Every structure is written in C-alpha cells, then in structure tokens.
C-alpha cells in the first residue's frame, strides 16, 4: 500500500511540475522584444499579489479560500515552491504587505499576519484589524492596498448585478458600491468614492498620486452596453453613477429615472462591455522601454455572459501625465478562435528588476513578462 501511495504521489508531482509547461504560451502575442513565461505554477485561483521580504510573493485566491506564498529558493528568476499560508478563508482575494506584515481581505474582515516572512510556512494565526464589513459574497471579494497617505483602501462591491443600496430594505448599507479607506492606527474610516459597482483593481498615478480604478459594468443590458470603466478620483465625495448611470451617459432602465448624467463623475476610459477589467497598474520599473514608463496596464479578465466572448487580454493605456492616450493590446491569445478560453489575467506586480508578474486564476499560474532589446 505504501508503495502504491508513493507511486501516486510521484505521478502527481510530475503532473504538478509539468502543469505550466502544457500551457500554450506560443499562442500569446506581445509587442516586439517582450517575452512571457510561467513564473509559478500550481497557484490555485491566483488573484492579487504582494511582494514580501527576500522575494517572497504572497498570492490571494477567491474560490479556493487560500493564501499562498510563492518562493524562488534558488534565485533563478522562477519560483520553485508554493506554500499554503492560510486556508478556509472567505474569498481572500485581496493581499497587501506593509512593514513585514501581510494583510488579507476576507469579505467581511481584514486580517493581519505579523512578521509573515518568518512564519509563512508555519500556519500563522492572524489578527482581525478590520471587522464588521458587509457579509454579502456577491461582489464581496476585494482588492486592497495601502495608499500614499498610509491608509488601507478597501472596496465594497454592490451585492447584486443592479440594485438600490441606500434606502432599500434588503441592501440598506451605504458602504455598498463604494471604495473606503481605513486608518488602522485609529480605526477611522473615510469614503474615497461612491457609485462604484465592483472594482477589483486600483493604483495611484505616480506623479499626481490620484487613485485610478477599474469598474465592472452591469449585466443584462445586451452584448454591447454598458461599457466597463477606468475611473479616476480627483476630489472628495465623487459619485461614479451606479446604479443610476453607466459609462457616464447611459441611464439605467430600472433605477435611472429622473437622474442627470452630468451629476455624476464620468469615466476616464470606456472599455468594451463585459470585458471585466480587474487589475490596473501604473508601470514604474526600468526594465521595459522608456515609452512604457507610467503606462497603465489593465487586465481584462473576460466576459462570462456575452454571446461572443470579449476581453481575455492585457491592455496598455498610454499616459501623458494628465490623461489617457491610446488604449492598445499588450498581450492577447488567451481566447481561442473557437471562443474557448485557456487563461484569464487578473492582477499585476512589478518586481524590483522591472520585470512584471501577471496572475491567472483560470490557468492557476503566475506569468513573468520580460523585455530584451
């Protein structure tokens, strides 16, 4: 019996180790000079990533309920070990690292794992640092990060496709459909943005320090409306339209009656309908060509209910320092000509050497993008 178990374990290990190599990376197209390869495999349902001490990369998941540590032990530029840091959490997609501690968003609470780099392999016990957030799991998974002001930014998605979240008997909580921020030292909470259906990615423009975020448009208005959005926060108390206005000018048929689109903040960029933008990332590394510096990368996770699939690609928005210029494809090929899919990009992380990681929660891998002149 022990022999059989040993053989099965060996076979599983071989399958596990070869998983990433079976992905059809040759189908992916990138601009000249860029290369994509698998950095880590077997990272089930890989979502947001954070860079820790000694090059350890922490990765959240959604349906898997686990937090992983991805380690490059031999420092060859590719991970060779994946460790489960925590499990049985509720959609721990959001990951943030600060001062040696790991923060994990699990729908209704945010957990802190102290000195994570020293204890990640020992099933560490977390401390709850934010509690009492809504428990709804519909759009309840989160992307979190510390802003330039030191506060922890935490979105709370709408608990539905389309619904009234203020003054409604079922979902009467003003925190729904918003982005919040918390001072963890005092417990103080402030609103950053309202009228945000579901953001699963944001970043700060490196010069202005303004927050830019993706927002997923509502479903069941047709294949081509409303557009998904890239938005920018430029002032306090901005409302981005949900559930009344979509894409800056489309009045919602259920909740938009009597609403004026000009009363709401319009998107900086309208994307395709249902492309599901998740991670957004201002590139600040030195490895890519100079033209890519401060470009905004967008992970279009891909549609789920469109008659012909859309998204399933990585996009790049040129940025002149004040506004978006062209919006062009950076990586495509995850979507096959027959409308089947083998990968779905989620989030970004620029490494200290300027190369860029991209998580994929469908292929269960993390890719690494490099450039060679």
Q: How many CA atoms lie within 13 A of 90 on its CB side?
A: 15
> Distance (Å, rounded) from C-alpha 202 to C-alpha 105?
15
> Distance (Å, rounded) from C-alpha 111 to C-alpha 10?
36
Q: Is residue 311 part of a domain?
A: yes
CA distances 29 to 119, 315, 316, 370, Å, are 39, 12, 14, 13
Range of the domain at 332: 28-39+87-371
Those residues whose C-beta lies under 8 Å from the C-beta of residue 312, and which sit 6 or more positions away, are 300, 301, 302, 332, 334, 335, 341, 343, 344, 345
Is the pLDDT assigned to residue 212 strictly greater than 50?
Answer: yes
Q: How confident is the model at residue 169 (pLDDT cuts 50, 70, 90)?
A: low
Is the pLDDT assigned to residue 38 strictly greater than 60?
Answer: yes
Reported as a single tens digit per residue, the pLDDT across 43-82 is 999 999 999 988 999 999 999 999 999 999 999 999 999 9
At 325 the pLDDT is 86
Q: How confident is the model at residue 168 (pLDDT cuts 50, 70, 90)?
A: low
Q: Is residue 66 part of a domain?
A: no
Per the CB < 8 A criterion, the answer to whether 79 and 366 are in contact is yes
Q: Is residue 296 part of a domain?
A: yes
Those residues whose C-beta lies under 8 Å from the C-beta of residue 229, and which sit 6 or more positions away, are 214, 215, 217, 240, 247, 248, 267, 268, 269, 270, 271, 277
Q: How many CA atoms lie within 13 A of 246 on its CB side?
A: 28
Q: Is residue 11 part of a domain?
A: no
Averaged pLDDT, 200-226: 96
Is the pLDDT assigned to residue 209 strictly greater than 70?
Answer: yes
Reported as a single tens digit per residue, the pLDDT across 116-132 is 999 999 999 999 999 99
Residues facing 152 on adjacent strands: 146, 182
Is the pLDDT assigned to residue 32 strictly greater than 70?
Answer: yes
Question: Looking at the 3D structure of the chain, how many domains does it have?
Answer: 1
Which comes out higher in pLDDT, residue 98 or 15? 98
Per the CB < 8 A criterion, the answer to whether 192 and 211 are in contact is yes
Q: Is residue 149 part of a domain?
A: yes
> Distance (Å, rounded) from C-alpha 92 to C-alpha 133?
14
Averaged pLDDT, 342-356: 98
Q: Is residue 249 part of a domain?
A: yes
Residue 340, domain CATH: 2.120.10.30
At 321 the pLDDT is 67
In which order are the strands placed within the sheet that holds 229-233?
Answer: 202-204, 211-215, 229-233, 269-270
Q: How many CA atoms lie within 13 A of 295 on its CB side?
A: 23
Chain Cα centroid distance, residue 117? 22
Q: Is residue 322 part of a domain?
A: yes
Is the pLDDT assigned to residue 207 strictly greater than 50?
Answer: yes
Chain Cα centroid distance, residue 7? 38
Averaged pLDDT, 31-51: 98
Q: How confident is the model at residue 14 (pLDDT cuts 50, 70, 90)?
A: very low
Q: How confident is the model at residue 13 (pLDDT cuts 50, 70, 90)?
A: very low
Those residues whose C-beta lies under 8 Å from the C-beta of residue 207, and which sit 6 or more positions away, are 294, 321
Reported as a single tens digit per residue, the pLDDT across 233-272 is 999 989 999 999 999 999 999 999 999 999 999 999 999 9
Q: Is residue 270 part of a domain?
A: yes
């Amino acid at each position: 019996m022990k022999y059989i178990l040993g053989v099965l374990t060996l076979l599983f290990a071989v399958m596990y180790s070869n998983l990433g190599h079976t992905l059809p990376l040759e189908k992916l197209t990138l601009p000249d000079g860029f290369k994509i390869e698998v950095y880590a495999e077997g990272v089930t349902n890989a979502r947001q990533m954070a860079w820790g001490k000694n090059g350890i990369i922490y990765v959240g998941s959604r349906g898997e309920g686990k937090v992983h540590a991805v380690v490059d032990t031999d420092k060859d530029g590719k991970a060779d070990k994946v460790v489960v840091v925590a499990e049985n959490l509720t959609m721990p997609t959001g990951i943030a690292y600060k001062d040696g501690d790991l923060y994990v968003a699990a729908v209704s609470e945010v957990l802190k794992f102290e000195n994570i780099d020293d204890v990640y392999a020992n099933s560490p016990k977390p401390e709850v640092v934010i509690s009492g957030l809504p428990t709804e799991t519909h759009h309840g998974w989160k992307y979190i990060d510390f802003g330039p002001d030191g506060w922890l930014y935490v979105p709370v998605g709408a608990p539905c496709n389309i619904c009234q979240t203020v003054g409604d008997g079922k979902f009467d909580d003003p925190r729904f459909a918003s982005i919040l921020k918390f001072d963890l030292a005092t417990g103080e909470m402030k609103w950053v943005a309202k009228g945000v259906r579901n953001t699963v990615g944001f970043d700060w423009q490196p010069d202005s320090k303004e927050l830019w975020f993706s927002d997923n448009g509502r479903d069941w208005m047709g294949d081509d409306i409303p557009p998904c959005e890239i938005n920018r926060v430029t002032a306090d108390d901005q409302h981005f339209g949900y559930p009344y206005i979509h894409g800056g000018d489309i009045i919602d048929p259920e909740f938009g009656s009597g609403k004026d689109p000009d009363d709401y903040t319009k998107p900086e960029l309208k994307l395709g309908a249902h492309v599901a933008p998740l991670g957004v990332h201002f590139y600040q590394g030195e490895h890519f060509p100079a033209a890519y510096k401060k470009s905004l990368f967008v992970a279009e996770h891909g549609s789920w209910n469109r008659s012909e699939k859309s998204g399933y690609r990585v996009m790049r928005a040129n940025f002149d320092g004040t506004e978006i210029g062209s919006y062009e494809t950076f990586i495509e090929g995850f979507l096959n000509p027959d409308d089947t899919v083998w990968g779905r990009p989620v989030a970004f992380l620029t490494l200290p050497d300027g190369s860029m990681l991209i998580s994929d929660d469908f292929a269960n891998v993390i890719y690494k993008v490099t450039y060679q002149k």
